[in-house]
Amino acid sequence: MSMPSTAMSVQRELQTSSEASTATLPFLDLRAQFQEIRNELIAAVTGVLESQHFILGPEVEALEREIAEYVGAAFAIGCGSGSDALLLSQMALGIEPNDEIITTPFTFGATAGSIARLKARPVFVDIHPDTFNIDERQLEAVITPRSRAIMPVHLFGLPANMDALLEIGRKHNLAVIEDAAQAIGARWRQRSIGSLGTIACFSFFPSKNLGGAGDGGMIATNDEHLARRLRMLRVHGTAKKYHYDLLGINSRLDAMQAAILRVKLRYLDTWTQLRRRNAERYHEFFAEYGLMQRLALPHAQSTSFHVYNQYSIRVRRRDELQIYLRDHGIPTEVYYPSPLHVEPAFAYLGYRAGDFPNAEVACREVLSLPIYPELAVDQQRNVVRTISQFYQREL
């Protein structure tokens, strides 16, 4: 029986894979992004230096207006980081010690850490195994009289089920604080993340789809009262200099970061489309190389617009594959190697291994591949070909 032409081409590539370039591929190529907009960024930074206005001010105010418009929220408030955005949001809502906030254990530590910082209690709920997002079907079982809020994470750029979460929030009088650190530009049923919940929190860490040249964050809300409190809380609780109406913190977005982000925001939609194109290309290559039975691809939903801050697959023998890829010049990342409920920092909560099986299995199987906008076709093909080569050794 003759071999199909596609299979023959794949087989030839496997046989000649040793001739492929072994140059190390960057996991995220920020230098390539910088070179494309170098002159604009230098002009923006120079403008701030010439103004000598470094803290808050016109650049920050302009970025706040532009982000609010971009995500469809009435207000946006800049702050020092995505972690501070989560913390300030809870402070604005009046979260107190022993209050409970329901969230996911499959996320970055700042999600639950911001809750614990206020002496409130993170209450974990397992994830959907396909989307990696909080399983809203398990939420009502953990609601108690101390519950104050739900904190979903739009992980990897894929929105959580906001219809269900908002309905549960309304039913039980719970705020919905969206951890949208990885999800600027994402949409749920054509509505932008940042305009749906009580508050949404964004990060401008350099690796994010909209990344600065350091730390930075933004909070979006449609509630004028919360916006006013947030603006005070980020500057030590002051509305008037040296007069303290609230107990706040120092978490101001620098003008330099705002100027850089204003330049990059103009390119964000283009970069998002390129990330989505690269995701589609990975899908095609995995099918071409006959790998669809060996791994699970990022979940696509008709209700969601995924922005692919990460392209995370699920694979067997993840750790072995990661080493193999590294040895062949292909970097990957594991987001996240362990769920928060088994981390020492959260041991006091009393959770045990086995409490959230979907999150625990995901931590053993998930692997993120390069997905940045400037990624070339041949680089992507080499990633998939090398993964295929790894599994071909089993045959």
CATH code of the domain containing 106: 3.40.640.10
- Structure confidence at residue 23 (pLDDT): 55
pLDDT under 70: residue ranges of the chain: 1-23, 394-395
- Whether 21 and 60 map to the same domain: the answer is no
- Whether 169 and 226 map to the same domain: the answer is yes
- Whether 243 and 291 map to the same domain: the answer is no
Distance, CA of 271 to CA of 141 (rounded, Å): 40
Residue carrying the six token digits 């193999």: 324
The two tokens of residue 292 are 């669809």
Residue 235 lies in a domain: yes
| Residue ranges making up the domain that contains 154 | 35-265
Single-letter amino acid code for the residue at 104:
T
- Whether 335 and 261 map to the same domain: the answer is no
Q: What is the largest CA-CA distance in the chain?
A: 84
- Whether 314 and 221 map to the same domain: the answer is no
Residue 378 lies in a domain: yes
Of the candidates 183, 217, 239, the one whose C-alpha atom is nearest the C-alpha of residue 64 is 217
What are the C-alpha distances in Å from 180 to residues 183, 220, 358?
Answer: 5, 10, 21
Q: 236, 265, 294: which is the final residue of a domain?
A: 265
The two tokens of residue 9 are 């081409």
- Whether 214 and 302 map to the same domain: the answer is no
- Whether 173 and 121 map to the same domain: the answer is yes
| DSSP string covering 301-322 | -TTEE---SSEEEEETTHHHHH
Asked if 81 and 53 count as a contact pair (C-beta separation under 8 A), the reply is: no
Where do the H-state alpha helices sit in 100-234? 109-117, 162-172, 224-233
Q: Which residues contact 346 (CB under 8 A, 6 or more apart)?
A: 112, 116, 122, 340
The two tokens of residue 174 are 């719970």
| DSSP secondary structure code for residue 28 in this structure | S
Q: 249, 265, 281: which is the final residue of a domain?
A: 265
- Whether 58 and 96 map to the same domain: the answer is yes
- Whether 143 and 216 map to the same domain: the answer is yes
Residue 30 lies in a domain: no
Q: 265, 292, 312: which is the final residue of a domain?
A: 265
| DSSP secondary structure code for residue 8 in this structure | H
Residue 307 lies in a domain: yes
Quote the pTM value.
0.92
Domain count, the chain: 2
Residue 54 lies in a domain: yes
CATH number at residue 314: 3.90.1150.10
- Whether 200 and 324 map to the same domain: the answer is no
Residue 80 lies in a domain: yes
Residue 132 lies in a domain: yes
- Structure confidence at residue 8 (pLDDT): 39
Residue 287 lies in a domain: yes
Q: Quick one: which H or E segment has residue 199?
A: strand 199-203
Segment 150-171, tens digit of pLDDT? 999 999 999 999 999 999 999 9
- Whether 203 and 73 map to the same domain: the answer is yes
- Structure confidence at residue 222 (pLDDT): 98
CA atoms within 13 A on the CB side of 289: 25
- Whether 161 and 309 map to the same domain: the answer is no
